[in-house]
Chain A
């Protein structure tokens, strides 16, 4: 039980943290407009020189291996729905870390996700 909770924590927080870092890195690089292979390769090389990108990729890799660990212990119809807690972490992170205004009905959605995740969590046998 403790193992599952730790893995869930890593999937949600390392995953969301990784996406935030990658977003930050990509914003530093600027909008990608040219999709020819040579310039895409150039964009990738530029991305690799941004520290945030490495941190983001490391966190996303940690989240991926935690997902594999969780899938080795639990059924997929349990694991994937509980990872919907990402939306809760996203709303909280958006509000408190990035200063976004989170609207009333978005909190309602987050609340529904929380109840849903709770139901799925207690359906575990």
Chain B
């Protein structure tokens, strides 16, 4: 992979050095990585919070009859908050896929762990949910657990 990249860069010897630095410098890649991780950290909890506030407006999902089901379906897909939530989760998903195409899984994983803490903070401060001390303890343990899970080699199969 890295040798392929080298040959590509070697072939670009007609490109001015200044331009090469803009596209291939480590700081440029760091910026790109941090920027996408920032998008992951922001848009995953934001999406869930928007879906939550949308669903609170829609009301509980009950499926006692076909017409009731259809009514819920229409209310869900005509809610602005739901669509904003879906758009946020879409931004999260694309950023996550892109950053994983070059960054290590164990490097990106802490950002998804952080999502659990941020969603509890947003629930508390934006949606005014009651977050009890026991729930904060639980969320912190999940954060730690996800960090530990992510700190293992991403691949254990396929090597002999």
Q: Decide if A119 touches B134 in the complex (CB within 8 Å).
A: yes
Chain A interface secondary structure, helix, strand, loop or mixed?
A: helix
Total contacting residues, chain A, CB less than 8 A: 41
Residues of A within 8 A of B145 (CB): 84, 87, 109-116
Q: Decide if B52 touches A75 in the complex (CB within 8 Å).
A: yes
Residues of B within 8 A of A108 (CB): 148
Q: Decide if B120 touches A68 in the complex (CB within 8 Å).
A: no
CA distance A112 to B76 in the complex (A): 35
Leading 8 A-B pairs by shortest Cβ distance: A119-B138, A109-B148, A112-B145, A116-B141, A77-B123, A113-B145, A109-B149, A116-B142
Q: Decide if B142 touches A113 in the complex (CB within 8 Å).
A: yes
A44 in the interface, Cβ–Cβ < 8 Å? no
Instruction: Tell me the smallest distance from the CB of A1 to a CB of chain B, in Å.
Output: 14
Q: Which of B119, B129, B149 makes the CB contact (< 8 A) with A110?
A: B149
Q: Decide if A75 touches B123 in the complex (CB within 8 Å).
A: yes
